[in-house]
Structure 1
Amino acid sequence: MNPTPMTPTPMTASPYPHLQAVVFDWAGTLVDHGSLAPTQIFVDAFASFGITLTLDEARGPMGLSKRDHIRTLLEHAGLRAQWTARFGRPPGDADIDAIYERFMPMQIEHVGRYSAPIPGAVEMLAALRGAGLKIGSCSGYPRQVLDVLLPQARADGVWADHVVAGDELAAGGRPGPFMALANVLALGIGDVRACVKVDDTTPGIEEGRRAGMWTVGLSLSGNETGLTLAQLQALPDAEVAARREAATRRLVASGAHLVIDSVAQLPKALAEIDARMGRGERP
């Protein structure tokens, strides 16, 4: 007698059939609510040269590679005037190098203090992997800093299939498309239009747009609002709404297709993007 044929177990359809990968930033996106690790260390590094830099000023160029970040800060009229008054000359390339060399060991020493996952990030990444999406990532952090951050983040459940550091590519970093496209190559993605770049900074959103990807900005978890979770939760609802609105304006102006509070809301945003692709829309 022939055995009764087994009924094959139906495969669960992906909730995102038109998408292939999501490329994430790190600080302020997956870890470090408020993106404090880089900003506070910039303040401390400049202070070691006798230069006063506020946290808001430090946040201005966030998303760039750290050397480019320092260069951009020193182009600010107020900081340039401070430097000239203290050292008798405007800052030059050697001064950028000197601040960077002071910044790096401070950043390496302290980045682990700010490696806690954004609430919902662990569950979100698991859901995306369960849906068959590949997970890429890139950062303004140099590789030396990521070598400290990544093992701690992974121990907490946050990891990516591929990571590109801000100092690894000869072509440069943000707002150019190079780190995002390096993820496309490494992950074997067939169409950049099937990728979503998620970032809490305007240069990171510009990076995704220049790479031809969909882009999702984060209004409350990262650099644009710049508060720890405890600080954010302590604000009145009206103040949170005002900060969300201001951050959303900046992120949309930089090219974000969608803006959400944090990566905890990303699955819903991806479903919207996938539906738009199903209607024939492209980034």
Structure 2
Amino acid sequence: MSVKTIILDWAGTTVDFGCMAPVYAFKKAFKNKHIELTNEEIRKPMGMLKIDHIKQLLSLDQVKKQWFELYGRASDEKDVRGIYQDFEKYLFADLAENSHLKPETKQAMKKIKQLGYNIGSTTGYTKEMMEVVFETAKAEGYHPDYVVTPDEVDSLGRPYPFMIFENMRHFQNHSMDEVIKVGDTISDIQEGKNAGVLSIAVTEGSSVMGLSLEEYKQLSKEEMEQVNQQTAEIFYQQGADLCIKNLLELAELLQEQSLLQRMQIKKEKISVN
């Protein structure tokens, strides 16, 4: 059965090279509580529903230790809500500015649409956040056929597969074999694997790579190749079926349906074993 629907992530995949907007907002929100986090710590749960992301960060051993030293108790739901409110405030302040298209997105999406594919999307952002991101992306020439946020699946975001299933319902896909999930975080890969669809990771500008566009451009070609390879190795260790550098490579793949079919056969064999 041929692929019909491509489900793309947003920040780090199609917009916001390096997935910078949420990193800045998380860092500021936790700093308000006098908790210092590294970018690496912040990025590890990236792609999850943002309030779940905060809970994951609060569960880190060093954060629990800092919190107890500061407040003499463990964090609770009230603390989670307070940090989330600060996170939202900081995110919305810079979200439009940090939602510009990645360099290849517009050209790649034009090619994929010309090939006749449905373009769906999933995200860790809420509906209100996505309204900002969507309008910025649309103004720059990218608008997928369908957008699903965690709010629309009872807040059961990644790594749950329900946003993918909602895309499949909308596009009336008959089988998981008709769908490909593409993203830039470990949560994206987990979401795709849990849904039983082909899961492809984008390395360039991904949250896993963790470099801004300016930082990436300062690298030599050899350094770029090295950091993309290192990022791909992380994704493969987490179960990605394939890694691509950017969305133009995805468009090229979609022109080669035979390659995708071979990958699906390989995936099916792995599932059986």
Give the TM-score of the pair, scaled to structure 2. Answer: 0.92
Q: 1:36 aligns with which of 6, 20, 23?
A: 20
2-structure distance, mates of 1:214, 1:282? 10
2-structure distance, mates of 1:278, 1:79? 45
1-structure distance, mates of 2:205, 2:31? 26
Q: CA RMSD in A?
A: 1.7
User: For the Cα contact (< 8 Å) 2:236–2:242, is it kept in 1?
Assistant: yes
The amino acid across from 2:73 in the alignment is R
Q: Are 2:55 and 1:71 aligned?
A: yes
Shift of 1:274: 4.2
Which residue of the partner structure matches residue 271 of structure 2?
Answer: none
Shift of 1:94: 1.7
Q: How many residue pairs are counted as aligned between the two chains?
A: 267
| Partner secondary structure for residue 163 of structure 1 | coil
TM-aligned CA distance change 1:256 to 1:42, over 3 Å: same
Shift of 1:98: 1.1
TM-aligned CA distance change 1:260 to 1:56, over 3 Å: same
Q: 1:48 aligns with which of 16, 28, 32?
A: 32
The amino acid across from 2:221 in the alignment is D
User: For the Cα contact (< 8 Å) 1:258–1:269, is it kept in 2?
Assistant: no
TM-aligned CA distance change 1:50 to 1:59, over 3 Å: same
In proportion to residue count, which structure has more helix? 2
Alignment of 1:244-263 (within 5 A): 244-263=228-247
Shift of 1:240: 2.4
TM-aligned CA distance change 1:255 to 1:225, over 3 Å: same
| Partner secondary structure for residue 107 of structure 1 | helix
1-structure distance, mates of 2:30, 2:208? 21
| Partner secondary structure for residue 94 of structure 2 | helix
- Of structures 1 and 2, the larger Rg is shown by 1
| Partner secondary structure for residue 147 of structure 2 | strand
Give the TM-score of the pair, scaled to structure 1. Answer: 0.89
Shift of 1:40: 1.0
Q: Are 2:73 and 1:89 aligned?
A: yes
Shift of 1:46: 0.6
Which residue of the partner structure matches residue 125 of structure 1?
Answer: 109
Q: What is the aligned-residue identity percentage?
A: 30
Shift of 1:277: 1.4
Alignment of 1:171-210 (within 5 A): 172-210=156-194
Shift of 1:282: 6.1
User: For the Cα contact (< 8 Å) 1:21–1:134, is it kept in 2?
Assistant: yes
The amino acid across from 1:167 in the alignment is D
